[in-house]
A and B are shown apart, each in its own frame.
Chain A
Amino acid sequence: MSDGPAEVTYRDALNQALREEMQRDDGVFLMGEDIGRFDGAFKVTRGLLDEFGEQRVVDTPITEAGFTGLGIGAAMAGLRPVIEIMTVNFALVAMDQIVSNASKIHYMFGGQATVPMVIRMPGGAGHQLSAQHSHSLEAMFTHVPGLKVVVPATPEDAKGLLKTAIRDDDPVIFLESEGLYGKKGPVGGEDDLVPFGQAVVRRPGRDCTVIAHSRMVWVALAAAEDLAAQGIDVEVIDPRTFRPLDLDTLAESVRRTSRAVVVDEGWPECGIAAGVATHLYEACFDWLDAPIARVNSADVPMPYARNLEQAAIPQASDVVAAVHAALGREAGA
């Protein structure tokens, strides 16, 4: 008997969620580019074609707007499509379907139709894929009422949140991170769902609150280790979903530490960090001892050159510097 739960990768955690939900509900089907015979560009759907057949694991032409819209229509008819867009970058081609149709249909038609679908897609930078293949578009989706936006950081959350997403009656934008597919950790069982709208404290601390999601959670935790060595004890909180957003957990922490840093792999202008910081200002202004610091990707299209790319993406050292700023310290002091 093992002394703890088996560790699986983020990729396999997602695969487990898909398999279990497809076994549970025959209205769940998968559709996307190269998800069947090719097992998916990131192998998340490995083995599912063999188990569930071509009716439920559907390879599509390269036609993101078309098959995303198809998924919306199938959802309106009561099926539960899980659409894989190979990467979030290609979601821009399908944005009209996501924003004009998926997010609006329930409200616009007075509740006569629901869109119980999941759109899964990985994003993020770090593999020298340059400007068109390195987006973090959380802010774009979170901007839109009618969508739910989910950003798992761990295998456990990847599985539990995807199961919740598939069972949810609204369109869910499920943003995975290309940089996390190989990350290992424990996962829950068949009935362990992770609810939307519940942030989680990844590391307790008292000096400063660091809010980070998806791959940035791990960057923030690495920064927290460096800071601990300097005698600075930060609390790292992962919102896990941006629609809905559990502001209470974030604000409770900030009221305790009086300082906050928000880390976000997206661009700074009107971004996730900007939005979260605004909520915190509204909720915690009187408790703050310093301006909220933001750590974002540089305000540039992602460059190809490795050194420039690394300079553009938030690093643990950037988080350390932001925490120092929030604490009113010079870097390295």
Chain B
Amino acid sequence: MTHTAPAAQPDHDGMRAMFRAMTLIRRFEERASDEYMAGRIGGFLHLAIGEEAAIVGTVSALRPDDPLTSTYREHGQALARGSDPRAIMAELLGRATGLCGGRGGSMHLMDRDRSFYGGYGIVGGAVPLALGLAWATRYRGGDQVSVTMFGEGAANQGVVSECFNMAGLWDLPIVFLILNNQYGMGTPVERAAAAEDFYPRAAAYDIESWKVDGMDVLAVRGAVAEAARLARDERRPACVELLAYRYRGHSMSDPDTVRATEEKERWRARDPLVTFERVLLGEGIMDAEAIAAMQAEIDDVVADAAAFAEESPEVPADQLARGVYAQPWNDDARGSALVRP
């Protein structure tokens, strides 16, 4: 199967699809929040509300076979890649029908069929995996581009600099996307980083790097399309810093009392869904009626996903130790290092 790289600027159908994906992420995350508050989702739940433009702008600029990796705030990437909302919500609820059979949960979605290589929980820890996916592409002579999204907090982890270095050294087909939402949990960037901008760090390793408005979905798409073009056609790594803002706390357990109300309101005024809706209305790409119909359709999709997840069976207990190894030595339901006769 061959794929054509998407154009830097989408056509009208493309723009409608992007708006739908952004709306789906927003509504899905809101419902996930409700499910968490109702006690049906456990563990951590990191919502991407506010970051929809960064996610959808990115995914819409890629080919479906470009390997994508993300952080633990990754429901949006899976949705944008076309993963079944039912399977995602079921994973969040820890059900057998979940995308990862209930083994991963909110932080560890993967959809291999859509080249979504997963959400990872250790800050910066997935970046070398993306480098390996790029390595494998070049090893086999493929033309895919490995794309990895991580936060500005991860950019302070040493292993990310190691990856910049190897990508620059070996000219690997990888795009680093630094989603700068300006806070590492509750710590603002100015208290965590010596310099305001993060993209120059990649530039220091001979990687073409720049920064765009991560709240503007079209700007993100254009930048990521160019970065992917560099990696695909010119065989050079690239790095784009997406300046954005998350509207919720770090996770559901963060009451978000540290950030100033004025600051939050200032960023809410630039809500990526609101501003993109204005573009669509202003250019006559969608009218109010069409938008309302789309939103209603998405509400149905999300409600259906939640109902499916809630009605799904739990993971059978005898599956506990299934899948620890691809090539197991045992059929031990509890898991054991011992070889059983």
Name A's B-contacting residues (CB within 8 A).
29, 55, 60-61, 63, 65-79, 81, 96-97, 100-101, 105-116, 142, 145-146, 148, 168-170, 196-197, 242-248, 279
Contacts and interface: CB of A to CB of B under 8 A. Distances in A.
Contact of B129 (A29, A72, A146): A72
Contacts of A70: 128-129, 131-132, 135, 163, 166
B221 interface: no
Given A55-B139, A76-B117, A145-B324, A69 B132 contact: yes
B235 to A, nearest CB: 14
B327 A65 contact: no
Contacts of B158: 65
Given A77-B136, A110-B104, A111-B323, A69 B129 contact: yes
Contact of B103 (A73, A100, A108, A113): A108
Nearest to B133: A73
Given A106-B325, A112-B111, A113-B118, 14 more contacts: A63-B166, A67-B128, A67-B166, A69-B163, A70-B129, A107-B324, A108-B104, A109-B108, A114-B326, A146-B325, A244-B329, A244-B338, A247-B338, A248-B339
A321 B262 CA distance: 74
B339 A77 contact: no
Contacts of A60: 166
Nearest to A251: B338
B255 interface: no
A101 B128 CA distance: 10
Nearest to A31: B135
Interface of B: 67, 98-104, 108, 110-112, 117-118, 120-122, 125-137, 139, 146, 158-159, 162-163, 165-166, 169, 323-327, 329-330, 335, 337-339, 341
B324 A66 contact: no
A73 B128 contact: yes
B65 to A, nearest CB: 12
Given A72-B129, A73-B135, A110 B325 contact: no
* Most-contacted residue by chain A among B136, B158, B165 (CB, 10 A): B136
* Most-contacted residue by chain B among A113, A114, A146, A244 (CB, 10 A): A244
B324 A196 contact: no
A71 B323 CA distance: 21
B207 to A, nearest CB: 15
20 contacts: A69-B132, A69-B159, A73-B128, A73-B132, A74-B135, A76-B117, A79-B135, A97-B128, A97-B159, A101-B122, A105-B118, A107-B324, A108-B104, A109-B118, A113-B117, A114-B326, A168-B327, A196-B329, A244-B330, A245-B339
Contacts of A61: 162, 165-166, 169
Contact of B337 (A111, A170, A242, A248): A242
A74 B174 CA distance: 13
A246 B103 CA distance: 28
A331 to B, nearest CB: 34
Contacts of B325: 106, 146, 148, 169-170
B166 A107 contact: no
Nearest to B321: A145
A60 B104 CA distance: 32
A106 B323 CA distance: 7
Nearest to A99: B122
A116 to B, nearest CB: 7
A169 B67 CA distance: 21
Contact of A77 (B108, B133, B159, B324): B133
* Most-contacted residue by chain B among A29, A73, A145, A242 (CB, 10 A): A73
A81 B112 CA distance: 20
A66 B321 CA distance: 30
Given A73-B130, A100-B121, A110 B323 contact: yes
Contact of B132 (A72, A106, A196): A72
B100 A116 contact: no
A170 B67 CA distance: 21
Given A77-B133, A106-B325, A169-B327, A69 B165 contact: no
Contact of B341 (A29, A196, A244, A248): A248
Contacts of B134: 73
Contact of A107 (B98, B103, B111, B337): B103
Closest 3 CB pairs of A and B: A73-B132, A69-B128, A66-B162
A324 B330 CA distance: 37
Contacts of B127: 69
Contacts of B112: 109, 112-113
Nearest to A275: B337
Contact of B136 (A78, A100, A243, A279): A78
A77 B125 CA distance: 17
B326 A116 contact: yes
A301 to B, nearest CB: 24
A65 B166 contact: no
Contacts of A55: 139
A243 B129 CA distance: 24
Contacts of A69: 125, 127-129, 131-132, 159, 163
